[in-house]
Structure 1
Amino acid sequence: MPVAGSLRKEALVPIVPVILSGGSGTRLWPMSRDERPKQLLALTAPETMLQLTARRAGADSGFAAPVVVGNAAHAAQIEEQLEAVGAAASALILEPVGRNTAPAIALAALAAGGGADPLLVMPSDHVIADVPAFHAAIAAALSLVEAGWLATFGIAPDAPETGYGWIQVGEALAPGVHRVARFVEKPPRDKAEAMLAAGDHCWNGGIFLFRADRYLEELRTHAPAMLDAAERAMASARRDGVRIWPDAEAFAASPSDSIDYAVMERADRVAVAPVAMGWSDVGSWDALHAISRCDSAGNACAGDVVAIDTANCLVRAGEGKRVALVGVQDLIVVADGDDILVLPRGRSQEVKKIVEALRKR
Structure 2
Amino acid sequence: MTIVPVILSGGTGTRLWPVSTSEAPKQFQPLIGDGDMFRQTLARVVDRTRFAPPLVVCGPAHVVHVEADLAASGVADAAIIVEPAARNTAPAIALAALARDPAALILVMPADHLMTDVAAFLRAVDTARAPVEAGALATFGIAPAHPETGYGYIAAGEAVATGVHRVRRFVEKPARDKAEAMLAEGGHYWNAGIFLMRADRFLDELERQQPAIARACAAAMAASRSDGHLIHPDPQAFLASPSQSIDYAVMEGAEQLVVVPVDPGWSDVGGWAALYDLADKDEDGNVRMGHVVALDAHGNYLRADGGKRLAVVGVSDLIVVTLGDDVLIIPKDRAQEVKAIVEYLAANPPPTA
- TM-score, normalization by structure 1: 0.94
Is 1:23–2:17 an aligned residue pair?
no
Aligned-residue offset at 1:89:
5.1
Aligned-residue offset at 1:328:
1.2
Deviation per residue, 1:298-333 (Å, 9 max, x gap): 111111111122111111111222211112111100
Aligned residue for 2:254, secondary structure, equals coil
Q: Which runs of 5+ in 2 are unaligned?
A: 349-353
CA contact (8 A) 1:109 1:213 kept: yes
Is 1:220–2:207 an aligned residue pair?
yes
Aligned residue for 2:285, secondary structure, equals coil
Aligned-residue offset at 1:295:
1.4
Aligned residue for 1:346, secondary structure, equals helix
The letter of the residue matching 2:66 is I
CA contact (8 A) 1:67 1:89 kept: no
Distance 2:140 2:30 in 1: 25
The letter of the residue matching 2:334 is R
Distance 1:134 1:257 in 2: 27
Is 1:133–2:117 an aligned residue pair?
no
Please, which of 241, 245, 250 is the counterpart of residue 228 of structure 2?
241
CA contact (8 A) 2:164 2:260 kept: yes
Is 1:56–2:39 an aligned residue pair?
no
Please, which of 133, 144, 162 is the counterpart of residue 146 of structure 1?
133
Residue identity over aligned pairs, in percent, reads 57
Distance 1:83 1:116 in 2: 29
The letter of the residue matching 1:81 is D
Aligned-residue offset at 1:238:
2.5
Please, which of 171, 177, 183 is the counterpart of residue 158 of structure 2?
171
RMSD (CA atoms): 1.1
Equivalent residue, structure 1, for 2:83: 95
Q: Which runs of 5+ in 1 are unaligned?
A: 1-12
Is 1:157–2:144 an aligned residue pair?
yes
Distance 1:89 1:120 in 2: 17
Distance 1:305 1:60 in 2: 42
Deviation per residue, 1:84-108 (Å, 9 max, x gap): 1122453201111111000000001
Aligned residue for 1:205, secondary structure, equals strand
Equivalent residue, structure 1, for 2:219: 232
Deviation per residue, 1:208-250 (Å, 9 max, x gap): 0001111111111111110110011111122201111211111
Aligned residues: 348
Aligned residue for 2:126, secondary structure, equals helix
Is 1:72–2:60 an aligned residue pair?
yes
The letter of the residue matching 2:87 is R
Aligned residue for 1:347, secondary structure, equals helix
Please, which of 40, 57, 77 is the counterpart of residue 28 of structure 2?
40
Aligned residue for 2:275, secondary structure, equals helix
Question: Residues 148 and 84 (structure 1 numbering): CA distance in 2 closer, same or farther, change over 3 Å?
Answer: same
Aligned-residue offset at 1:174:
1.1
Aligned residue for 2:51, secondary structure, equals coil
Q: Give runs of aligned pairs for residues 145-294 of structure 1, distance below 5 A.
A: 145-294=132-281
Distance 2:64 2:221 in 1: 21
Aligned-residue offset at 1:62:
2.1
Aligned-residue offset at 1:269:
0.4
Aligned-residue offset at 1:45:
2.0
- TM-score, normalization by structure 2: 0.96
Distance 1:331 1:275 in 2: 33
Distance 1:179 1:341 in 2: 44
Aligned-residue offset at 1:354:
0.2
Distance 1:262 1:146 in 2: 22
